[in-house]
Amino acid sequence: MDNTQLAVKAREIRKSIIRMLTRAGSGHTGGSLGMADVFTTLFFDTINMDSGDVTAKDRFIFSNGHICPVWYATLAEKGWIKKEELMTLRQLGSRLQGHPSRHDFPFAEISAGSLGQGFLAAVGLALAMKRDKSPYKVYASLGDGELDEGSIWEAAMAAGKYQLGNLIAFVDVNRQQQAGTTDQLMPLEPLAGKWAAFNWHVIEADGHDFSDIKKAFREAKQQKKPSVVLFKTHMGKGVPDWEDKYAWHGVSPTEQQAEYALKALEAPR
């Protein structure tokens, strides 16, 4: 899919995120909007997966599961779930919970929510697939604030030891957390150096440039060691007044804010 088509898909995904979170009255807006370009590229251009329940496919593990609205909206844009279902986000009995549940949602490999745990599962899955000589990849989504969890680095060390070239992690580096910036709360730099020290192939990319995102994923797929893509993003991307504001980490828009956001997303660029 060319970049123009990807941009159109990403805009529609952002609009769905706004609508579903507004209806829910709770959820994580900023990170979901910020990762829309990466998820669009991953699911429309990169990952080897279809909507069927089969094992012969790449796997996706959502470790930073609180931004699941971007995943739900992406799957709806692909036609794997109905767009109408998005409006059931966080409602009692819905498959679309605020953190993905493998018991309810067939696309979820694991239930996500407790930060760090998904990444551990991704490393274990990649190790099992390598031992089974599977030709498929494991993609793991993480947030930069999530990297404060010590378990992340234990798993990263194991992935480096076992040379898991079938594991591609990508990090939403928006430098915002729930209560402040990462620089204020727990500085991450030198972030690339940390991953490299654990024997990972490190790629830094612009998480809003489709060419850069494609290039990063292609490079990662060619490695014999585990790869991590550090995507530099803007929380709240697409809605100018919301960008890079940590206050949007864990809140949903009001009706008035949603109206403003949808107009901003339609504005010419």
User: Which CATH number covers residue 118?
Assistant: 3.40.50.970
Locate the DSSP E strands across 32-183. Answer: 59-62, 138-143, 167-173, 176-177, 180-181
Strands 227-232 and 201-206: parallel
pLDDT of res. 201: 98
Percent of the chain with pLDDT over 90: 90
196 has pLDDT over 70: yes
Number of domains in the chain: 1
Which among 108, 134, 106 has a CA at the least distance from the CA of 121? 108
161 has pLDDT over 70: yes
Query: Each residue of 71-123: pLDDT tens digit?
Result: 999 999 999 999 999 999 999 999 999 999 998 898 999 998 788 899 999 99
Domain that holds residue 210: 3-266
Find out whether 226 and 160 touch, Cβ atoms under 8 Å: yes
Would you say the C-alpha torsion 233, 235, 238, 241 has a positive or negative sign? negative
pLDDT of res. 147: 97
CA distance 220 to 140: 12
- Please provide the average confidence, as pLDDT, over all residues in the chain: 95
